[in-house]
């Protein structure tokens, strides 16, 4: 069977893309991101301060990174994980991010939602009468809960 130049170029490019993708996944410890292990977050040195502050926080013995920073439903968890993974990889590869890294508004909403979910018995009287209306962020008063000294 003879391949034309176009077909050969296509397969060479496909092979290079697969090779670079496999190397990047392995080098970036991609499989670890499928776990719930907090050590995964420090695959990138940018997150070391966050890990250190979490280890000294009051939540260290009751919650890991994914518990606070990802939605608790299956689809929301994996969509947010993929979104954060893509933009973290992009920022850490290309640069141009604030140091220390800053949480995005979307992720603030996720964290707020998980605070309320885990502490619903305590915070229910404090929630707005109409869902979605403004309320203070939990970390406004409890900034050291998840990351001590930040």
Percent above pLDDT 90 for the chain: 43
> How many whole angstroms separate alpha carbon 121 and alpha carbon 110?
19
> Is the distance from CB of 105 to CB of 130 less than 8 angstroms?
no
Percent above pLDDT 70 for the chain: 97
> Is the distance from CB of 42 to CB of 48 less than 8 angstroms?
yes
Residue 33: CB atoms within 10 A of its CB come to 18
**Confidence class for position 15, pLDDT limits 50, 70, 90:** very high
127: Cα within 13 Å, side-chain hemisphere: 15
Q: What are the pLDDT digits (tens) for 109-125?
A: 999 999 989 998 888 77
Q: What are the pLDDT digits (tens) for 91-105?
A: 888 888 887 788 889
Whether the model clears a pTM of 0.85, i.e. scores above it, the answer is: no
What distance lies between CA 143 and its chain's CA centroid? 19
């Amino acid at each position: 069977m003879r391949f034309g130049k176009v077909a050969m170029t296509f397969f060479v490019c496909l092979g290079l893309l697969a090779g670079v993708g496999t190397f990047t996944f392995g080098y970036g410890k991609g499989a670890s991101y499928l776990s719930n292990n907090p050590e995964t977050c420090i695959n990138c040195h940018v997150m070391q301060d966050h890990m250190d502050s979490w280890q000294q926080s009051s939540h260290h013995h009751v919650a890991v990174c994914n518990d606070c920073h990802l939605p608790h439903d299956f689809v929301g968890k994996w969509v947010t994980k993929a979104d954060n993974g893509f933009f973290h990889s992009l920022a850490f590869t290309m640069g141009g991010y604030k140091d220390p890294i800053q949480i995005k508004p979307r992720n603030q909403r996720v964290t707020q939602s998980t605070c309320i979910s885990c502490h619903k018995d305590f915070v229910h009287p404090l929630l707005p009468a109409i869902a979605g209306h403004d309320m203070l962020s939990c970390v406004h008063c409890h900034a050291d809960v998840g990351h001590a000294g930040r």
